[in-house]
Amino acid sequence: MTQMTFARAINAGLRKSLENDPKVILLGEDIGTLGGVFRVTDGLQKDFGKHRVVDTPLAESAIMGTAVGLAYRGYRPVVEIQFDGFIYPAFDQIVSQVAKLHYRTQGAVKMPITVRVPFGGGIGSPEHHSESPEAYFTHTSGLRVVTVSNPQDAHTVIQQAISCDDPVLYFEPKRRYHDKGEVDESIDPGSAIPMDKARVLTEGTDVTLVAYGPLVKTARDAATAATDEGISIEVIDLRSLAPVDYATVEASVRKTGRLVVTHEAGQSGGVGAEVAASITERCFYHLEAAPVRVTGFDIPYPYSKLEMHHVPGLDRILDGVDRALGRPNSLSGLEG
């Protein structure tokens, strides 16, 4: 076990994949000489060369489109999108090509592309640097979408994503990059918990709280705080957003009877909506209350002085928990 930061854990995972498979190739802006604007790829070009850790011109659609061509040629490209808000120029290549080529060619052409996306807010950045675009991609069939919430998962899941034959969007919570955690680098990604499985982090009996990415830490803190009031929260790190591991969430909700989902992304058409709807379909008669969503608002990501009004924090999550439990909360007395 080694103490390392979140960013270093991804770096170590990338290094392992580069070592284990000569077909792994990294593409992105500033990922080589500089080591990435967050230093996630620090030192990799020096050790693996300019042909395997490629600094590209500044064109996201081209980065993604050339990754498609490399995949055609048998490579396993790992693309870095520098910031969440810069992924949109690549949207067409992701949605129309990366996601569909395996289907289009009836399995003949594999697209084992991993797209690393630093996402989420809370770092005081200007516009386009703090977005949570995951729902655009969970809505796109053919893609797998995963998030990581701690250094160990970051290290393991990046390797699982790269070895997966399907395209994977790997969302990294950028405000947690400097958080430290224990990482066991000897864990075999092939025998670790699969990347499309959720994980119950803290067991509880009163309410199921589903979070992913940067809000997992907040959700755990909320659960700890709630024990002071005698509330027992079961926290689930969803990890995979496409597909969602409903079996794990459903088993929890059947036990607690209550569901709160939280994410930074806006509410409408978001992952929370999908989880709430699916769980309602699957175990309606086990629900004691309507599912509750605690999310960012349906606004463009705001300027940084006010961003923490948009990003759900511990208190807003607990307010949502109170709503699910029928306890006094900020919306008490409001209908609907």
The catalytic residue positions are 129
Candidate list 141, 227, 268, 332; residue touching another protein; CB under 8 A: 141
Q: In what order do the strands lie in the sheet with 144-147?
A: 53-55, 24-28, 76-80, 114-119, 168-173, 144-147, 240-242
Helices (H), the chain: 6-20, 44-48, 60-72, 91-92, 101-104, 134-138, 151-163, 215-227, 246-256, 271-283, 307-310, 314-325
Please tell me the count of residues contacting another protein according to CB under 8 A. 64
Stretch 18-77 residues interacting with another protein (CB under 8 A): 25, 29-30, 32-34, 37, 45, 50-51, 54-59, 61-62, 64-75, 77
User: Counting contacts by CB under 8 A, is residue 284 touching another protein?
Assistant: no
Site for another protein, residues 85 to 124, rule: CB under 8 A = 86, 89, 92-93, 96-97, 100, 102-110
Q: How far is the CB of 102 from another protein (least distance, A)?
A: 6
Nearer to another protein, 66 or 329 (CB): 66
Does 127 bind another protein (CB under 8 A)? Our answer is: no
Position 176 contacts another protein (CB under 8 A): no
Smallest gap from Cβ 4 to another protein, in A, equals 23
Q: From the CB of 225, what's the least distance to another protein, in Å?
A: 32
Could you say which of 21, 42, 166, 179 contacts another protein (CB under 8 A)? 166
C-alpha closest to that of 94 among 70, 120, 63, 55: 63
Cα–Cα distance, 335 to 290 (Å, whole number): 13
Q: Report d(CA 304, CA 124) in Å as an integer.
A: 5
**Calpha distance 17→158 (Å, rounded):** 9
Q: Which two tokens stand for residue 113?
A: 């592309």
**Out of 210, 216, 242, 265, which residue is the one contacting another protein (CB under 8 A)?**
242
Q: Which of 204, 208, 320, 322 is nearest to 258 (CA)?
A: 208
DSSP 8-state class, residue 176: G
Q: Tell me which of 246, 280, 286, 297 binds another protein, using CB under 8 A.
A: 246
The residue among 80 and 322 lying less far from another protein, judged by its C-beta, is 80
How far from chain centre, in Å, is Cα 3? 22
Based on the shown chain and the rule CB under 8 A, indicate whether residue 273 belongs to the binding site for another protein: no
Cα separation of 213 and 176, whole Å? 9
> Which chain residues interact with another protein by CB under 8 A?
25, 29-30, 32-34, 37, 45, 50-51, 54-59, 61-62, 64-75, 77, 82-83, 86, 89, 92-93, 96-97, 100, 102-110, 125, 129, 141-142, 144, 164-166, 196, 242-247
